[in-house]
Homo-oligomer: A and B are copies of this chain.
Amino acid sequence: MRYCSKCGNTVDMIIPKGDNRPRAVCPKCENIDYDNPRIITGTIPLYEGKLLLCRRNIEPRIGFWTLPAGFMENQESTAEGALRETLEESGSKAKCLQLFSILSIPHINQVHMFYLAELERDDFHPTEESSEVALFELDDIPWDELAFSSVEKTLKFFVDDHKKGRYSLHDDNIILDQLCSKK
């Protein structure tokens, strides 16, 4: 059971005229509540060749290490959102250099984007969302303690590109079947 955000009536899951998939249509006020994928935006924060990671202080994946990232908000750009999340999670001001990865994750209706970013200063600290914030040499990335598959995939691309000496955009998908078959 679901309700109309505009008038509070119960909605019907039906295919509206001119559409091709079921939506939450209100039979009373005719409003349609669309449900679409959300964007997670974040950074690969670098300082003098080292990588900043945050140990999650909140669920999901509390205690695991992540790149700073979170839901893109209204009224901001993808890069602004990435820098806002970096500041919120690590206390660091950073500057976006280039979009590095864009990962569609169809089974959870999300698209994750990570920007290569440069920290302005060697200045970061634990936050409400991160119990620990630290710089890592690329050889010391805690691969077995990473919070999310999108973070792992992005960091693998990053380490590979770093070895090649050239960073390019990685547009890829994370598919449930592949995640399961890895285990």
Contacts and interface: CB of A to CB of B under 8 A. Distances in A.
A71 interface: yes
Oligomer copy total: 2
Query: Main secondary structure on chain A at its contact with chain B?
Result: loop
Interface residues of A, number: 44
Contacts of A37: 39, 72-74, 76
Interface of A: 2-10, 18, 20-21, 24, 33-39, 58, 71-80, 88, 98-99, 102, 104, 106-107, 109, 111, 128, 169, 171, 173
B71 A36 contact: yes
A21 B73 contact: yes
A102 B24 CA distance: 29
